[in-house]
Chain A
């Protein structure tokens, strides 16, 4: 089964609003959580990541919230702009041993001007 799931394939938000992207995971060993942004025909770019020892991390307009008991993490983008329009991929991994990064299926965010 899918170890990392993004249940919403798409999200549309008005310019200036808050975009909330969600991700669920299954593996209890995951202790690294990240959000990537992907434009068509390009490789994903890391936006923000968080380790399991914190439940929140902010970086400018981006905030990651981690709910370990619920095996859920989310990305909040405040003051959303049209240039935020892209596919957002969540990813999770386990840092013990040679860990792998497992990606979700992606959510297409569209910010309407």
Chain B
């Protein structure tokens, strides 16, 4: 079956440092990968949408300079949180889908704590 793994599941970093998280699709080809963040007391916000062979599209309030994303093939994507601060803490979710009409599969999330 189709699965999405995320690594690490939980991580703690010091304020001002950077943290890289990974997303792995198994059992299907992740044509597009969406990264979301759920901050404390908030809903899931879309950070960016990455489609293989297309430019990565960032949502308002999120930039490539802060959240660089790599999507080198149809099974893997990574995102880095650069210079993490308190407001960056939360659950980072990866959603991957195959093609335009396929179902989106979510990973278990990476929970980021910033000290």
Give chain A residues whose Cβ lies under 8 Å from the Cβ of B111: 41
Q: Find residues 79-108 in chain B having any chain A CB closer than 8 Å to their own CB.
A: 93, 95, 100-101, 103-104, 106-108
**Smallest beta-carbon distance A14→chain B, Å:** 27
A71 to B101, CA, bound (A): 21
B61 lies within 8 A of chain A by Cβ: no
Question: Are B51 and A98 in contact, with the CB atoms below 8 A?
Answer: yes
A53 lies within 8 A of chain B by Cβ: no
| B interface SS class | strand
Which one of B14-22, B41-49, B62-70 is at the A interface?
B41-49
Partner of A102, one of B46, B93, B107: B46
Give chain A residues whose Cβ lies under 8 Å from the Cβ of B100: 95, 97-99
Partner of A98, one of B54, B93, B103: B54
Q: Find residues 37-80 in chain A having any chain B CB closer than 8 Å to their own CB.
A: 41-46, 49
Partner of A44, one of B34, B103, B106: B106
Most chain A beta-carbon neighbours within 10 Å: one of B32, B103, B104, B109: B104
Chain B interface residues (CB < 8 Å from chain A): 32, 34, 36, 42-44, 46, 49, 51, 54, 57, 93, 95, 100-101, 103-104, 106-109, 111
5 nearest interchain CB pairs?
Answer: A105-B43, A103-B44, A43-B106, A98-B51, A43-B109
